Structure 1
């Protein structure tokens, strides 16, 4: 009887529209993945799946809405690595990252690319650091305080002593727009977003943040191999439900997420832009999230970033 009840509940979900909260402005990697997920879920279930962009406070505003939502699978979160970083850089979060969410699935992961406006006379990292020191500072944009694009710069500054000035935005698209316009000089941008601007010659790639070169940018050296040994960061996008969401619903969502990210054409598009679709089970992703919270806590401490 218990098994029959669980199956009945699983089959019954969803019975009304589902909302995916993206705590950043439209146009960035998180938004692209969320919209693919929404379309795939809608096609699979026949129910409307909406993407609701709620930017602000480094992703905290939209994330709080999901933390306080009813745990029934109808209000869900798609967000960046900032989710596991915020506990280390924010003194008073309005939710408990480790306990107020049910990790559902890893959607995708990608290196960040350090890119500069073509007006900056630097094509390699040593040249860029020398330029920053001679100019007194170098402004770099990020998708928001606490995200990997922010901490990639903070980690670089702490390891090299270069005067890097952080300029936070409410999402990647806004940062890239100002970088293209010359309002800022550099930015750490996910490969999925950066590749088209690099290929068009609108931005110059200086280095990638992962320990190995990106297959789609084989001529762009890693930051580590350009004189910053041990340097490594990676962007990943996760899918979450409120804590206490029924396990059978979380399991269904995990299956739908993996299916959405691994649809043939979408998977090919991701891989062409240096991005890997997720494959983790629910337990594997739950363990991954807990490990990442600890890892980024250590990185924040080593970088000398004080919680605000």
Structure 2
């Protein structure tokens, strides 16, 4: 009899322990929410996070406060988030760096796969492979196939710029090299702006950059768009083929932005957060505001996004390993 009482008491205690989790999800949020961007203010991540924060604040009837905590490609605040209570009141919007960093930095003091809960893909922003118009015209490069042929005929003579070693644009170039067999030389800059300036000045011939960053120069005729890096064409450049269409089958290297929470979060709360984010991303207002930034709002379920994050870590780890990329 005592055994059965103990079992019943244990089951009752377990049920009581489960109640706060359900109540936590149903009552969330019960105070202002911190939405941290681990990059400086003014960049694409920050802009999209602020738009999301405004929409979620209206949805939740609680302030969603943006905080910028930059440092070491997002790793400094990521470490802090991994040690934060998983109650949903501290969240992070970060970029593709989050899945690239584990392969670049060997001394991270967190586990990128277990110390975070992927909530939702906030948006994707396709990059585009662009060539300086003078370089393209003088070497008869009208499309990606022409560039590949030129690169193979001139190994090591095609330089491509990027915003810095290990960034998404650099890795797009490395992926292009590995998938086409073209030998190109990476020229890292301290930011996208100086790299773009040298591209426009014909100091470097090609570059992978975000569509919003180079759109005006493409339209102005200073740069030739050869292909976008997403599997679907960019609404901003509907006449420009994808690299997949243009002769590099399966090429995909889209910049994307995700919402994360600390690891070990109550599944009910994870579901509520994901559903709420997807709901605001479907609103006409957010759709329009994101489109102005050249961004496509995310549509993945939480489970789909979690699988996507794992696949992206594996993909970029291989690119980094194959290219022997290191951060000093």
TM beyond 0.5: yes
Question: Which one of 165, 169, 179 corresponds to residue 196 of structure 2?
Answer: 179
* Residue correspondence of structure 1 range 162-173 to structure 2 within 5 A: 162-167=183-188, 169=190
Question: Partner residue of 2:10?
Answer: none
Question: Partner residue of 1:104?
Answer: 119
CA distance in 2, matches of 1:119, 1:23: 38
Question: Partner residue of 2:3?
Answer: none
Q: TM-score of the superposition, structure 1-length normalised?
A: 0.80
2:156–2:185 CA contact under 8 A, matched in 1: no
Question: Partner residue of 2:315?
Answer: 295
1:36–1:260 CA contact under 8 A, matched in 2: no
Unaligned runs of 5+ in 2: 1-14
Equivalent position SS for 1:24:
coil
CA distance in 2, matches of 1:50, 1:193: 27
- Note closer, same or farther for the CA distance 1:255–1:138 as it changes in structure 2 (3 Å cut): same
- Note closer, same or farther for the CA distance 1:36–1:131 as it changes in structure 2 (3 Å cut): same
Q: CA deviation at 1:35?
A: 0.9
CA distance in 2, matches of 1:212, 1:13: 36
- Note closer, same or farther for the CA distance 1:179–1:227 as it changes in structure 2 (3 Å cut): same
- Note closer, same or farther for the CA distance 1:92–1:29 as it changes in structure 2 (3 Å cut): same
CA distance in 2, matches of 1:307, 1:269: 37
2:189–2:195 CA contact under 8 A, matched in 1: no
CA distance in 1, matches of 2:222, 2:74: 28
Question: What per-residue deviation string (whole Å, max 9, x for no partner) do you get for residues 249-293 of structure 1?
Answer: 322321232123222032134457764322223223222222222
Q: CA deviation at 1:179?
A: 1.3
Q: CA deviation at 1:125?
A: 4.1
Equivalent position SS for 1:109:
strand
Question: Partner residue of 1:23?
Answer: 38
CA distance in 2, matches of 1:68, 1:166: 37
Q: CA deviation at 1:296?
A: 2.6
1:21–1:53 CA contact under 8 A, matched in 2: yes
1:209–1:233 CA contact under 8 A, matched in 2: yes
CA distance in 2, matches of 1:134, 1:238: 37
- Which segment is superposed worse, 280-289 or 33-42? 280-289
Equivalent position SS for 2:120:
strand
Q: TM-score of the superposition, structure 2-length normalised?
A: 0.76
Question: Partner residue of 2:271?
Answer: 251
Question: What per-residue deviation string (whole Å, max 9, x for no partner) do you get for residues 124-166 of structure 1?
Answer: 4466674895994524123x54343221011223434333324
Residue 216 of structure 1 pairs with residue 236 of structure 2: yes
1:102–1:240 CA contact under 8 A, matched in 2: yes
2:128–2:227 CA contact under 8 A, matched in 1: yes
Question: Which one of 159, 170, 194 corresponds to residue 138 of structure 1?
Answer: 159
CA distance in 1, matches of 2:189, 2:68: 17
Question: Which one of 215, 218, 242 corresponds to residue 198 of structure 1?
Answer: 218
RMSD: 3.3
CA distance in 2, matches of 1:177, 1:72: 41
Question: What per-residue deviation string (whole Å, max 9, x for no partner) do you get for residues 218-272 of structure 1?
Answer: 3223334555444332222111011123333322321232123222032134457
- Note closer, same or farther for the CA distance 1:263–1:145 as it changes in structure 2 (3 Å cut): farther
1:157–1:164 CA contact under 8 A, matched in 2: no
Q: CA deviation at 1:34?
A: 0.7
- Note closer, same or farther for the CA distance 1:168–1:77 as it changes in structure 2 (3 Å cut): farther
1:111–1:209 CA contact under 8 A, matched in 2: yes
Equivalent position SS for 1:40:
helix
Question: Partner residue of 2:176?
Answer: 156
Question: Which one of 68, 90, 94 corresponds to residue 79 of structure 1?
Answer: 94
